[in-house]
């Protein structure tokens, strides 16, 4: 996920474009770059947050009434100045900012390099200005050169494009990445998201995939891929700027939960890279995961999966406890470090300690973060920036990477197919939201919760309980369903709600019996089960799921409802779920 803005105005563009791109910093903060057109294309760009780079480069000083800007969340190539957008063609005539991933960029890059084009970055984006240059050199009109370029791209893209020789025209394109148009009396805009332009105009045109726009100061034209004009409606935005930044949601957490179906899809696009990495592993006879918090819970799902599917002995260590167990690690162990931030001090310290002793793999969301420089192999989750302190979409993307890893370790094609079907099913899950709001109202005043599950879904219970603690300040305890009878049953009464995770599968009957024991002690049950499950009728509140998801894949979906549950209890208790007290997004101390 990156943020892009472009404007054509009746005045110098730099101050406005800088203000606008700052509103998209939540979409990426590795680097910033701006290009404007005067009698040439002027580009200023650098690595770091917007204010840091601005204090060195002084963006407002740039001349020109037309410009494009970009904040980057790195996907291809480290967050360096060279990889920052905008990217230009060989002669600096075309300049492009891009949000998305060009899947066939390697082939295109090779073709262009063979034809003599010179590349300056490692990005997938840079093929775009070079392709436009190529087609202009072949004699096509500008718009046709862009059209021909787009037809050669596979993947997702929102683009804003400048041409030195057409200094009053900005072209934008959208395909599977967001792009909106802002319309005003003083000029026109494109942007990844509404907050970028809300200070300038509240009149917006929403684009669909494969639509092209041509903007001048006084005119907006929308076309299809055949360059035929399309009539579009102008919508008036009534959100406040703060709400707009959250995509119309009240909090980042709920916005990030809603992004989960897309995140599953994006992370599945890493399948080939994960397959390559699995092919490069040395021989190992044991796997060890090291992580903290939510990433630790994702690791536990990994342990259940790897042991049951591949038979490779696997264990999970908390990074902060790693010191006490590291003596058993040897060169036949593969160690997998999971961390969304890539900056967690406990996890990095564990990696540094062991890196020369065993083969290491990091599963991480932030490209270029510290851990990516220390591990032998890196797999990127594709969750985009996560702003809310509570991890939601990054957990889902970690799980997708783990399932893919297991599928390739085990050469299990069927599992890969099931993962693709999950990305569609996850959209249905968002349908339980209203019912979860009612359950949240009912239990908002409880002081303690239990979450119970078995096998693959014991980690789901732990993660559900962690979400509850983190953002509602209610004590939540995750437990293996079969373990309550060995002690905690003594605590149960009608004041303690118990969340039972009960997907269909081999563990169903045993878990069901445990839940009956719990019910018999007077506790109120909230049950997560398949929507054709009639055994649970009358046992408590139910949250229903598609029956084809059995216990092996349930961790990917059932957690979404538990994230919603924690979110709505937090709202009921008047807490800001995005900024829970005493916690930070990235924990850089041991
Ligand atoms: O960045 P990491 O994944 O290494 O962070 C580890 C934990 O600090 C993190 O998962 C924490 O538990 C989350 N805030 C939970 O929502």
Mean pLDDT rounded to a whole number for the chain: 93
477 CA → ligand 1 middle, Å: 17
pLDDT in tens, 514-571: 999 999 999 999 999 998 999 999 999 999 887 778 899 999 999 999 999 999 999 9
458 CA → ligand 1 middle, Å: 18
According to the model, what pLDDT value does residue 248 have? 81
452: helix, coil or strand? Answer: strand
pLDDT at residue 59 above 80?
Answer: yes
Residue 294 near ligand 1, beta carbon < 6 Å = yes
Where helices occur in 387-541 by DSSP H, the ranges are 393-409, 413-429, 433-443, 458-472, 508-520
- The least confident of 224-233, 341-350, 428-437 is 428-437
pLDDT in tens, 233-262: 998 877 776 677 787 899 999 999 999 998
390 CA → ligand 1 middle, Å: 8
- The least confident of 62-66, 383-387, 422-426 is 422-426
Residue 347 near ligand 1, beta carbon < 6 Å = yes
Confidence of residue 295 (pLDDT cuts 50, 70, 90): very high
State residue 98 phi and psi, 5-degree precision.
-140, 135
pLDDT in tens, 504-514: 999 999 999 99
Confidence of residue 385 (pLDDT cuts 50, 70, 90): confident
The 377-380 sheet, strands edge to edge: 314-318, 286-291, 333-339, 359-364, 377-380
Mean pLDDT, residues 33-37 = 97
Which helix or strand (DSSP H or E) is residue 110 part of?
A: helix 105-114
pTM: 0.78
According to the model, what pLDDT value does residue 425 have? 81
Report the nearest atom of ligand 1 relative to the CA of 585. Answer: 14
Hey, whose CA ends up nearest to atom 4 of ligand 1? 339
Report how far apart the first and last C-alpha atoms of the chain are (Å, whole number): 30
Confidence of residue 421 (pLDDT cuts 50, 70, 90): confident
Confidence of residue 194 (pLDDT cuts 50, 70, 90): confident
According to the model, what pLDDT value does residue 235 have? 87
According to the model, what pLDDT value does residue 2 have? 86
Mean pLDDT, residues 306-312 = 95
- The least confident of 92-96, 264-268, 495-499 is 264-268
Residue 389 near ligand 1, beta carbon < 6 Å = yes
Residue 93 near ligand 1, beta carbon < 6 Å = no
Residue of 301, 578, 587 to mutate, ligand 1, most atoms within 8 A of C-beta = 587
Residue of 340, 465, 563, 590 to mutate, ligand 1, most atoms within 8 A of C-beta = 340
Given the residues 203, 442, 579, 585, the one annotated as active site? 585
Residue whose token pair is 């563009």: 13
According to the model, what pLDDT value does residue 236 have? 85
Percent of residues, the chain, with pLDDT higher than 90: 79
User: How do strand 377-380 and strand 359-364 relate by DSSP bridges?
Assistant: parallel
123: helix, coil or strand? Answer: coil
pLDDT at residue 89 above 90?
Answer: yes
Catalytic annotation present for 585:
yes
Hey, whose CA ends up nearest to atom 9 of ligand 1? 293
Catalytic annotation present for 2:
yes
42: helix, coil or strand? Answer: strand
Given the residues 2, 288, 292, 401, the one annotated as active site? 2
According to the model, what pLDDT value does residue 374 have? 92
Residue of 252, 290, 295, 369 to mutate, ligand 1, most atoms within 8 A of C-beta = 295
pLDDT at residue 21 above 90?
Answer: yes
According to the model, what pLDDT value does residue 220 have? 97
Mean pLDDT, residues 285-310 = 97
pLDDT in tens, 207-239: 988 999 999 999 999 999 999 999 999 988 777
Percent of residues, the chain, with pLDDT higher than 70: 99
pLDDT at residue 26 above 90?
Answer: no
Hey, whose CA ends up nearest to atom 1 of ligand 1? 341
pLDDT in tens, 355-368: 889 999 999 998 77
pLDDT at residue 74 above 90?
Answer: no
Q: For residues 436 and 541, what is the distance between their CA atoms, to the nearest angstrom?
A: 10
In DSSP notation, 511-545 reads HHHHHHHHHHTTPPEEEEEETT--TTTTSEEEEEE
According to the model, what pLDDT value does residue 432 have? 87
Hey, whose CA ends up nearest to atom 12 of ligand 1? 293
The alpha carbon torsion through 190, 192, 196, 198 (nearest 10 deg) reads: 70
The alpha carbon torsion through 19, 23, 25, 27 (nearest 10 deg) reads: -140
Q: Which long-range contacts (CB under 8 A, 24 or more apart) does 136-144 make?
A: 136/93, 136/94, 142/166, 142/169, 142/171, 143/171, 143/212, 143/214, 143/227, 144/227
288 CA → ligand 1 middle, Å: 19
298 CA → ligand 1 middle, Å: 11
Mean pLDDT, residues 17-37 = 90
Cβ atoms of 566 and 465 within 8 Å: the answer is no
According to the model, what pLDDT value does residue 195 have? 83
């Amino acid at each position: 996920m990156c943020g892009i803005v472009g404007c054509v105005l009746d005045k110098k563009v730099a101050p406005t474009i800088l203000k606008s791109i700052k509103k998209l910093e939540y979409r990426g903060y590795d680097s910033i770059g701006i290009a404007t057109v005067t009698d040439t294309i002027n580009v200023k760009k650098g690595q770091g947050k917007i204010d840091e780079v601005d204090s060195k480069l002084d963006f407002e000083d740039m001349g020109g009434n037309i410009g494009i800007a970009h904040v980057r969340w790195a996907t291809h190539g480290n967050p360096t100045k060279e990889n920052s957008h905008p990217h230009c063609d060989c002669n600096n005539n075309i300049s492009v900012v891009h949000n998305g991933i060009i899947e066939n960029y390697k082939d295109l890059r090779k073709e262009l390099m063979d034809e003599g084009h010179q590349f300056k970055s490692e990005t997938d984006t840079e093929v775009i200005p070079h392709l436009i240059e190529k087609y202009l050199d072949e004699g096509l009109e500008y718009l046709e050169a862009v059209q021909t370029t787009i037809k050669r791209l596979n993947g997702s893209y929102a683009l804003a494009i400048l041409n030195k020789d057409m200094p009053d025209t900005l072209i934008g394109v959208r395909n599977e990445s967001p792009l909106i148009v802002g319309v005003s009396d003083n000029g026109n805009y494109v942007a990844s998201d509404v907050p970028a332009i809300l200070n300038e105009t509240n009149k917006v045109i929403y684009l669909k995939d494969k639509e092209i726009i041509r903007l001048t100061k006084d005119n907006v034209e929308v076309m299809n891929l055949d360059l035929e004009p399309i009539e579009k409606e102008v919508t008036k935005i009534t959100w406040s700027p703060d709400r707009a930044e959250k995509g119309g949601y009240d909090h980042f957490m709920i916005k990030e939960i809603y992004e989960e179906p897309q995140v599953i899809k994006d992370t599945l696009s890493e399948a080939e890279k994960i397959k390559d990495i699995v092919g490069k592993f040395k021989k190992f006879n044991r796997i060890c995961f090291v992580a903290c918090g939510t990433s630790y819970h994702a690791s536990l799902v990994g342990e259940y999966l790897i042991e049951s599917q591949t038979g490779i002995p696997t264990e999970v260590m908390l990074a902060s406890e790693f010191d006490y167990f590291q003596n058993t690690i040897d060169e036949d162990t593969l160690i997998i470090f999971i961390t969304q931030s890539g900056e967690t001090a406990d996890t990095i310290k564990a990696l540094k300690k062991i890196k020369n002793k065993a083969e290491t793999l990091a599963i991480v969301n932030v490209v270029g973060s510290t851990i990516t420089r220390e591990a032998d192999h890196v797999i990127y989750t594709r969750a985009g920036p996560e702003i809310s302190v509570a991890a939601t979409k990054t957990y889902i993307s970690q799980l997708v990477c783990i399932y893919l890893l297991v599928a390739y370790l085990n050469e299990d094609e069927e599992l890969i197919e099931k993962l693709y079907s999950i990305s569609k099913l996850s959209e249905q899950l968002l349908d339980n939201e209203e019912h979860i709001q009612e359950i949240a109202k009912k239990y908002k005043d409880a002081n303690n919760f239990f979450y119970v599950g078995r096998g693959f879904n014991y980690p789901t219970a732990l993660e559900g309980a962690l979400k509850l603690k983190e953002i509602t300040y209610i004590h939540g305890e995750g437990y293996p369903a079969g373990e309550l009878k060995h002690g905690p049953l003594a605590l149960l009464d009608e004041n303690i709600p118990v969340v039972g995770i009960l997907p269909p599968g081999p563990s169903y009957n045993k878990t069901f019996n445990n839940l009956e024991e719990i019910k018999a002690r007077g506790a109120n049950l909230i049950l997560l089960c398949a929507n054709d499950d009639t055994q649970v009728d009358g046992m408590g509140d139910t949250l229903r799921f598609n029956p084809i998801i059995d216990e092996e894949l349930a961790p990917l979906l059932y957690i979404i409802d538990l994230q919603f549950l924690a979110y709505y209890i937090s709202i009921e208790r008047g807490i800001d779920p995005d900024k829970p007290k005493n916690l930070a997004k990235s924990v850089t101390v041991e």
